[in-house]
Structure formats: C-alpha cells, structure tokens
Amino acid sequence: MSEVATPNEADLKASEVAWDLSSLLDGASDPRELLDRADAKAAELVQWRGRIGDADSGELAQLMNGLAEIQELVSRAGHFGMLRYTENTQVVENAAMMQQVEERATGIGSQLVFIDLEFAAIDDARAVDLLSDERLAFCRHHLENTRRNRPYMLEEGQEQVLIETSVTGASSWVRLFSELTSMIQVELPDGDETRTASLEEGLSLLQAPVREQRAQAAKAVTAGLAEDVKTRAFIYNTLLLDKSVHDRLRSFPSWISSRNLSNEASDESVEALVSAVVARYDIPQRWYRLKAQAMGVDRLADYDRMASMIDSEQRIGWTEATSVVRDAYASFSPELASIVGRFIDEEWIDAPLRPGKQPGAFCAYSVPSDHPYVLLNWTGRSRDVLTLAHELGHGVHGYLAREQGIFHQSTPLTLAETASVFGETVTNNRLLEMLEDPAERFALLASTVDDAIATVFRQVAMNRFEHSCHVERRDVGELAVERFGELWMKSQTDMMGDSVELTDDYAIWWSYIPHFMATPGYVYAYAYGQLLALSVYARYEQQGPDFVPAYLELLRAGGSMSPEDLGAIVDCDLADPGFWDAGLDIIDAQLEQAETAARLAGRIS
C-alpha cells in the first residue's frame, strides 16, 4: 500500500466526497423534461395495443426497443429524484420532486401494462419460436420472466388500478418511514455533557472497542428508536396488510412467493437455503462464546455483538481508505481497479454524514447509458473501509453489466450481493496479508467472522422475523408494538441461543430496518449472495489468475441468464442441494481460523 498523508478533519469525515448527478439528466435542466420525452414515446407505443399477439420477431424487437428507450428516460428521472432525495430527506423541494417524478413514471407505466399482458398471453410454442430470433436477444430473458409471471397477472384494468394507486399506497408509507428514521437523533456522551448525533453514528459506535461506550451508545439508540416506535409499527402493519391484499388478488401461495419469483428462485429452494442456515445456528453461538472469552466477559450483551477486537481504534481518512481498496482490487484485476478508480475520482460517490441524509449505504445502478452511484455514511471507522469495498463491488458489477442494456443490467437479488461480498473479501484478505502482529490479525479475522454471521445468520433470523409478522398479520390481524418485539426477540434468541444476553431494550431494534418496509422478503438474498460469493472466492483461491476471466464474464452477464446459468459460468451448481452446506462450511473454517488466531494473540487459552 502506498504511503498516505496524515488525514485532516475533512479527510477523516470525507466531507468533500459528493457525487455529481448532472449526467443523469442527459442534457435536460430538470428530470421532468426526461419524462416529457418518455410520455411522447409512450403515446407512440400505445398504438401497439391489441397487435402484440400477431407481431413477428422483427416487429416485437421494434416494440421492445421503444420500451427500452422509455425505461431509460424514466429510470434517469427516477434515479435523479431518488438520489437527490437521499442526500437530505428533510428538504421539501427534494421530496416534492421525487414524488412528482414517481407519480408521472407510474402514469407512464400504467399506459404500457398491456405489453406484458399481451406477450404473456401468447401460446408457449409461438413464444419459444419468437424468442429464438437473435434480434430479441437484448430482452429475451426479460420476456421469459414476463411469461413466468403469467399465473399471477390480472386483467389490464385491474393492473392499471394497482399501478396508479401504488403511489398513494405502499411507496408513500415507505417514504414516510424513511423520513422518520432519517430524523431520529441520539444523545451521545461527550465528556461531562452530551451531543446530538444521527442514528447512523449511534449505531456505528456499537463497533467501538470500549464496552462502556458501546453500552452508552445502545441506550442512546434505544431512546431514539422509542420516541416514535408506535408510528413506525403502524407503518409496518399497514405495509403488511397492503402486501397481503396484493398477494391475495394475484393468488400467490405465500407471502414470500412474489419475492422468490422476482428472484427467479423456487419456494422450495429458498426453504432449503433457510433450513440449511437455521440448522447451523451453532456457528454464531460458538463465535459469540469465543468472542466473550476474548473480551474477558462471561457472556456478550446484545450491544457487544459487533464490537471491534482492536484495543483502541484509530480513525481512518478517506485517502487512506480508498488507497487500500484500490490496491485490493488491483491485486485481483487491474480492470476492476480501474473502474473502482473512476468511482473515487469522478464524483460517483456521496460519502459524508449530513443532517437528514438517508442512513446506511447502497449502490444504485442507474441506467446502462450512465454509470452507478454509491451512497455511504462515512464515520472514519475501520469497518467503513470494508463497506466502501462492498458497495464498490456492486458498482463494478453494475458498470460491467451496462452492455446488457436496460432489461438485463440488473441481476435478481439472489445474485446481487455476489460481486459486493467478493470485493469485500478481496479487500479483507489483502489487509490480512499486510498484518504480522497476531493481535491485529485476530482483530481482522474477527471482523470477517462478524460480517459473515451478520450477512448469513442474522439475515436469515430477520427472514424468520418477517415470516412471523406476515403470517400473523394475515391470520390474526394488526400487531401491537409489544408483539413485534416478542417476534423479534424470538427470532434473535433462536439464532444466538444463550451465547448473548438480549436486553429488554433490544425488543424495538427491528423498527429502523428499511428492508422490512421497502422490499419485503429481501433479506434472505444476503445469505444467498454471501454463501455464493464465498464459494466463488473459493474457486478463485483454487484457480488463481486463471479464474479472473470467468469472474469478469459473470459480472458482464448481468441478469441476462437464470441464476443457475450465471452460477455455472464460475463453476457453481446452485441446483445442488448441498451447495449451501458447502458455503456454510467455509464460514465454519473462518471461525476455526479466528479461533487459532485468538490463541496465538493470547486472547483465549
């Protein structure tokens, strides 16, 4: 790693690292101009109503190219509005613009819903013949997936009603939840006084090496969450009911079926994944007992789970962090390192903490004709380096998949974490190679196991919480705050057993997690992606540089194939029932590695 200058305060806070969204507007002065163009194009495509069943392959390709043009315009406008809103959810103009863009985009989509319905109605033999034409290769997998949705489609008028009312339905509640959580403030100790901080900063202190600091941060977070938890519980109840209504109207057999369908995964395969992870809950319990021993306590408290094993944590500046990540990606692939460099150097990242900024981190692919964008909330902690590497993994995936076009750039959620976890693992292992001190090696290995457990076991435990909430909302009715807390505590206790003491305060900690609200059923995809990525990385360790071309081919393929076909590119058989067990064995081996390192560091006997 190259030498970097001592960070100043601006560098520690990444205060000057802001994205430039102007390229999304494609020369327009306002996103609504893009929607004007999309409206005009949609008016042309409406002339196809009633004709799709008789169209030949060339005509269908013409229609789909027109639809791709509309989707590019709508997505540009939508991403501009959404990304501007996330910068500060409290700016009225940002919220109003995002809402207007969403309403207009919904209206355009409503006009064109007939395209999917008419194509889905074509008989199977003719559809196969049409899709064999190479002129439709750019949208073939998308159209195949459209036909998979055929059993759950409604009549056009019904579909239009659901689309039009979605703006005042689920999306509005999700927006309210986002605004409420971005307003949560926590009062953190600051010498003899306290200071007001964001929820994000309070949560980040749960990684602090000093136990008292973690305990104080946990109490502050609980107090912040408690202030408006009844409102957030009402939002969740409403969204649970909204989904149950949609699932009933579409005749989905379970609450998770629609998510599985969009993920191109069968209900049975997802159940196999969840069951395999639940059956290995001994792994997190073993780790938490080991971690307690290394920390010199009888048992971890809930606020100890993510504690850093570094005795005193030094803050990391943006310059040093980006140098580490660039170096890690370069050790694997100069091409990927070059793309990572563009994110860092060309204002594709928004990093600093700000009042009103959306919590968390994400990568938005935007559109194939532009580039992805990364949002962070930089606190200068060591874990932020791995978060940066993770989100840039998403970024290089989206960047390389641009050649697939608007229909195939994005993968199903089940593969969406592959490149991000892989990039994080490359960075983590690169850091490990640089460390000789046993204590430092144990600290980094501990972080690796913490992340694997958070991504696989915790996400499946959250899936079990979601399952309980959706089922009970449908069978019993509205859930009280206390009942949400009971279901949350059960899901967490099942995973941690008696290895962690869950305080009463922890019962409301479900109430800030956005995935439950915005993307029900999403969380198991993290476990799927982590186990797949670990298996992919194991192939890299076995094959060395010869593996790189296949991996880049996987990233470039985007979502143009089924998950099974994408996995086959890197020699992963996702249809093998034992596949998940193999990934879990890798985590088990990581735990054993950490245990050995803890002994060498004198942290355990």
Q: Given this model, what pLDDT does residue 1 score?
A: 44
C-alpha distances (whole Å) from 33 to each of 37, 184, 490, 534 are 7, 35, 50, 44
How crowded is residue 9: how many other Cβ atoms within 10 Å of its Cβ?
10
Give residue-wise pLDDT tens across range 12-41: 999 999 999 999 999 999 999 999 999 999
Domains of the chain in start order, with CATH, are 229-310+442-518 (1.10.1370.20)
Q: Sign of dihedral through CA atoms 324, 399, 373, 362?
A: negative
**Look-up of token digits 């996702």:** 574
Angle at 108 between CA 106 and CA 109, to 5 degrees: 65
In 93-192, beta strands by DSSP E: 185-190
Nearest partner of 35 among 82, 72, 84, 87, judged by Cα: 72
Instruction: Decide: 207 and 220 in contact? Cβ < 8 Å.
Output: no
Question: How confident is the chain (605 residues) per 10-residue block, as mean pLDDT?
Answer: 67 96 95 96 96 96 98 97 94 93 94 97 96 98 96 95 91 94 92 90 91 96 96 98 97 96 90 94 98 96 92 82 95 96 97 91 96 96 90 98 98 89 89 83 90 95 98 98 98 98 96 96 91 90 94 97 93 86 92 94 91
Instruction: Decide: 286 and 452 in contact? Cβ < 8 Å.
Output: no
Cβ neighbours of residue 295 under 8 Å, at least 6 residues apart?
Answer: 211, 304, 307, 309
Nearest partner of 366 among 393, 414, 402, 336, judged by Cα: 402
Token pair for 588: 């088990």
The model carries a pTM of: 0.85
Instruction: Decide: 537 and 200 in contact? Cβ < 8 Å.
Output: no
Q: Given this model, what pLDDT does residue 577 score?
A: 77
Q: Given this model, what pLDDT does residue 558 score?
A: 97
Q: Given this model, what pLDDT does residue 457 score?
A: 98
